[in-house]
Structure 1
């Protein structure tokens, strides 16, 4: 009976919470669509176990960092204003990254020190001796030549990689069955992200134009890997790329899926975690079109990472 009541409450709350803007965009309400937290990936569990800590301890640590570092919180608020987003979205992304992916440092200054440790190193983006700048001149990428802006250009290249090269043998070369960002953009080890915002280099390249326009930082170039790493390691710049990523996710879902996710930090945190907001918005739009007219739309759901953000929302909002 208790479970039945919970289910009815969830369904009723869901049906009455959904509303639409005058332009036909559906507002995604606050809160989690899942009553219980979705499964946490094994890799995250293994990292946390290896660090001899727990998710609760890591959450407490990053919460305390945010609560005790007013300089950081002021930077977050200022950056959020530049990108026209609620700062709670940035707080949620930081909390998710440092709870499930990395441990937080005790203070902002530690991130500056870590960034300085990378300065002067020589990096390049390549796979098996092939520089990415040469790789993307192949004929297979010709469809991307007409794209305007860093985001459309690099997301196009990422789609070509997935369709043509990922896990395939092309012209006698075996390409790994892995993400474009992990194969060509990780000189240390696959999947590594960096800094306060835990941005990966490909994401930084995609968002370069927006960050240049909104924050005035120089545009990034795949031939200058050092500059890319400086951008994602430096806390001030990292916050700009974090905000740009969230802004892009909100815009993608409004434009493609006709969903306003700007009031749900758990959904934006989920997209910050999984990436490819344009492709995910397109899949959701297709599902809703297939349901026909007059049927309530399927709303985007939070994953384990975003679920925590929504679950802790009152506490996280109090930090602001």
Structure 2
């Protein structure tokens, strides 16, 4: 018979019973990668890098150089991370991952400040699909149960779930809805499929942590009716760092509360979740897996694996 520590056994029983997991009960995930070699890189990342005739290593060196030169930015990363009670290496990992695999680096953060100001003057910018605003859409009766959620993260997660279950790729009341992610259908009217700023956030990701950013960072509350301000917030580095940190904090909390594991010391895992999103669903799926196989750990994707693989170098930036 396999003997397990009492704490681990109690954790399994709590998860099986659907009871909340206290922070002290969460099992720390071991550092480093679970895979000996990097998992397959997403085809879209490969295609984007080929289009620019570059390489992932070149892109990594450029973003690393940007962070190495900009000590003011590093100071802001440290300060923001402290506010949200996370290690700043998590923010570093997300920035490096995004600019290595999803976009090319700019020469300095100043370029993002300049672009951010432009969005505030876009008066006609709105989150709509085919003439239907997202505000009107989520007022439909299908979303009624979501109104009971107590924070923005759970509210928008619920709405995203309803979209996937009731609308995505379906015809409802005579209207055919796209077979695409909620965030791409309603939240990227000008640049479908793209993310923005230093942290390459999408508008939906920002709205999911808007109340946390307001409570912790003191920034004004953002709503889906304020599209220009949402775009400005995710493009301006001083503001977007808050949304990055809050998003990472939310991922750590979700895996602690839902799956009973502490991922706060594994930047590759937080980077993976930052990259793929849909964190609550993934935490629930992992919790179910862990109930049947208690020794199982979350695994990094190619993006998170790279962050863990370069962790020694990345920590030198701090």
TM-score (normalizing by structure 1)? 0.91
Shift in Å, 1:281: 0.7
Q: Determine the C-alpha separation between the residues in 2 that align with 1:272 and 1:22.
A: 21
1:174 corresponding residue in structure 2? 176
Q: Determine the C-alpha separation between the residues in 2 that align with 1:63 and 1:247.
A: 23
* Partner-residue secondary structure (3-state), 1:134: helix
Shift in Å, 1:22: 9.2
Q: Determine the C-alpha separation between the residues in 2 that align with 1:214 and 1:53.
A: 39
1:237 corresponding residue in structure 2? 239
- The 4+ residue runs of structure 1 with deviation greater than 2 A are 19-24, 116-119
* More off after superposition, 188-197 vs 235-244: 188-197
Shift in Å, 1:297: 2.3
Shift in Å, 1:117: 3.1
Specify which of 286, 289, 301 is matched with residue 299 of structure 2: 301
C-alpha spacing 1:22/1:147, structure 2 compared with 1 (3 Å): closer
1:77 corresponding residue in structure 2? 78
* Partner-residue secondary structure (3-state), 2:148: coil
1:316 corresponding residue in structure 2? 314
Could you list the per-position Cα deviations for residues 21-61 of structure 1 after superposition, in whole angstroms to 9, with x for gaps in the alignment?
99432110110000010111111111111112110000000
Could you list the per-position Cα deviations for residues 133-180 of structure 1 after superposition, in whole angstroms to 9, with x for gaps in the alignment?
100111100111211121111111111001100111101111111110
* Partner-residue secondary structure (3-state), 1:145: helix
* Partner-residue secondary structure (3-state), 2:25: coil
Could you list the per-position Cα deviations for residues 234-273 of structure 1 after superposition, in whole angstroms to 9, with x for gaps in the alignment?
1111000000010000000000000000110000000000
Question: Which consecutive unaligned segments of at least 5 residues does structure 2 have?
Answer: 1-7, 12-21
Q: Is the 8 A contact 2:23 2:257 kept in 1?
A: no
CA-based RMSD: 1.6
2:118 corresponding residue in structure 1? 117
1:269 corresponding residue in structure 2? 271
2:16 corresponding residue in structure 1? none
1:127 corresponding residue in structure 2? 129
How many equivalent pairs are there? 299
Shift in Å, 1:82: 0.2
1:12 corresponding residue in structure 2? none
2:189 corresponding residue in structure 1? 187
Q: Determine the C-alpha separation between the residues in 1 that align with 2:173 and 2:35.
A: 46
Shift in Å, 1:224: 1.3
Could you list the per-position Cα deviations for residues 198-229 of structure 1 after superposition, in whole angstroms to 9, with x for gaps in the alignment?
11001111100000011111111111111111
Q: Determine the C-alpha separation between the residues in 2 that align with 1:208 and 1:185.
A: 15
1:13 corresponding residue in structure 2? none
Q: Is the 8 A contact 2:153 2:208 kept in 1?
A: yes
Residue 246 (structure 1) aligned with residue 244 (structure 2): no
Question: Which consecutive unaligned segments of at least 5 residues does structure 1 have?
Answer: 1-18
2:213 corresponding residue in structure 1? 211
Could you list the per-position Cα deviations for residues 267-315 of structure 1 after superposition, in whole angstroms to 9, with x for gaps in the alignment?
0000000111111111000111134xxxx42100000000100000000
Q: Determine the C-alpha separation between the residues in 2 that align with 1:279 and 1:94.
A: 24
Higher relative CO (Cα under 8 Å, sequence separation at least 6) belongs to: 2
TM-score (normalizing by structure 2)? 0.91
Alignment of 1:41-120 (within 5 A): 41-120=42-121
1:143 corresponding residue in structure 2? 145
